[in-house]
Amino acid sequence: MADGEIPSAAIAGAVAAARGVLRLEEGEDAVLAAMAATALSLAEAFVGQRLIVRQFEDRVAADGAWRRLAAEPVVAVTGDHSADSDADGVGWVRASGGGLASVTYSAGLAGSWEALPPAIAQGCALLVAWLFEHREGGSAPPAAIAALWRPWRRVRVGSARR
C-alpha cells in the first residue's frame, strides 16, 4: 500500500454497502471498486480528515520549530522526533539537526470501514450508488450526502501556529 492510500478492505466495505443500496447481487466489481475509492477520497476531502487509519510520511524542516502534520486526525507518530497532538487530532512534530526530516505517522478517524461513524459510511455508500447509476454524468450528487458528512467537516482558516 502506497503512503496514504485508502486500504483495500475499506474499499471492499464501501462496495458491499453500495451493493446493498443498489440491490446488486454480483458483477461490476472493478467499476464499483473504482467508484468506492473515489467516494472515500471525496469524503476525506469534504470532511478534511482521513477516514481510515493508515500510514503517512511528511518531510518537515528540521529547525527545532513545531511543524503541523498534513493528515488528520493523528493517531501516532513514530521515530525519535518530539511529537504532540491537540484535542482535535492535529499532529505537531519538532525535529532538529538541520535540513529536512522525514516523519512517519498514522492518521485516521476509524480503524476500519466497519468502525466509521454510520453517517459517513452511509454517505459513501450513497455516493458510490449515485456514481454507478449516473455514469453518463448530467446531474449533481444528492445534497443528502453532504448533509450526512457535514457534522465531521473540518475547515482550516488561516495557518495554525504552535
- 1 CB neighbour count, 10 Å cutoff: 9
Which pLDDT score, from 0 to 100, does residue 21 have?
84
Question: Maximum distance among all alpha carbons in the chain?
Answer: 57
* pLDDT average, residue stretch 72-90: 88
- Residue 40 is classified by DSSP as H
Using an 8 Å Cβ cutoff, are 108 and 76 in contact?
Answer: no
**71 pLDDT above the threshold of 80:** yes
Cβ atoms of residues 75 and 52 within 8 Å: no
H helix runs in 2-158, sequence order: 8-22, 29-47, 118-133, 143-149
In contact, 55 and 65? CB cutoff 8 Å: no
- Mean pLDDT, to the nearest integer, of 109-134? 94
> Does residue 49 carry a pLDDT above 80?
yes
Whether the upstream peptide bond of residue 118 has omega within 30° of 0, thus cis, is no
List, in order, residues 6 or more apart from 103 with CB less than 8 Å away: 57, 58, 59, 60, 69, 77, 79, 81, 83, 93, 95
pLDDT category of residue 155 using cuts at 50, 70 and 90? confident
